[in-house]
Structure 1
């Protein structure tokens, strides 16, 4: 099941919430800041341990921590690409970010996951293209792995919400 929701990702009742993180993993603005504030110190503490072990998180990759005070069990932190005109493999890096999150979700036995609109805020990835990549990457991944997972795309603005609703209708979801 793939659905779209307009709202606050920190309030969604799922097994795993995806954080659109930066390379430092120490919080920031937008979704990243909201998840760190709502989840509390436990998330920050685990992010610090990950930084000490591997130096942060590379673009297109993901790491997992506790969800702290959130209702989820896990926060999967992924770093999406900064849009640079599409000439620096941004589409593939965004696809890798979604795939990395799904790999961790399967590894952890997650049955439901909520994704934000990765890279479409301060990283300026074009919203239509990002949504297309997100939806098709998730559908292709679930079909290739033959797994059932409840996926929520949680949109923070009306524009993304409309784009996701339209694209999900087009693919029959």
Structure 2
């Protein structure tokens, strides 16, 4: 859980696909919240290693693993925001982060958070 693994993009329009396994929400405790945050940190580490200018991240954990949208989206946006802004020169290659949302509810939630935090 929380570790990102890269595979080639093969015939997709992406050079790499980053895979990460989230912890299950039903076991809600501080350790799992930290592991969930680590998923996003791990994605950024992989993006840094492969010098990705754009990354697209699905709303991980909100499906089968049952993370509530409000909690998971806040963790996602906050984690990426704090890591990137803690050392902007480290991520100067990164031009765009896209949250891939499966529906309007996810889209509006992420859009609201991003606008509120002025990302």
Gaps of 5+ in 1: 1-58
Q: Is 1:140 aligned with 2:82?
A: yes
Instruction: Please give the alpha-carbon distance, in whole angstroms, between the structure 1 residues aligned to 2:30 and 2:86.
Output: 27
TM-score (norm. length: structure 2) = 0.91
Aligned length: 115
Between 1 and 2, higher relative CO (CA 8 Å, sep ≥ 6) is seen in 1
Shift of 1:88: 6.0
Q: Deviations over 1:84-143 (max 9, x none)?
A: 252262211111001011101101111110000010011110111100010011111111
Which residue of 2 is the match for residue 78 of structure 1? 20
1:90 aligns with 2:37: no
Deviation (angstroms), 1:169: 1.2
SS of the residue 2:74 aligns to:
helix
What TM-score do the two structures reach when normalised by structure 1? 0.64
Please provide the CA RMSD for this pair.
1.2
Task: Judge conservation of contact 1:84–1:90 (CA < 8 Å) in 2.
Answer: no
SS in 2 for 1:130: helix
DSSP 3-state at the match of 1:89: helix
Is the counterpart of residue 166 in structure 1 residue 112 in structure 2?
yes
Higher mean alpha-carbon deviation, 68-77 vs 137-146, is at 137-146
**Partner residue, 2:72:** 130
* CA 1:137–1:88: 2 relative to 1, 3 Å: closer
Larger radius of gyration: 1
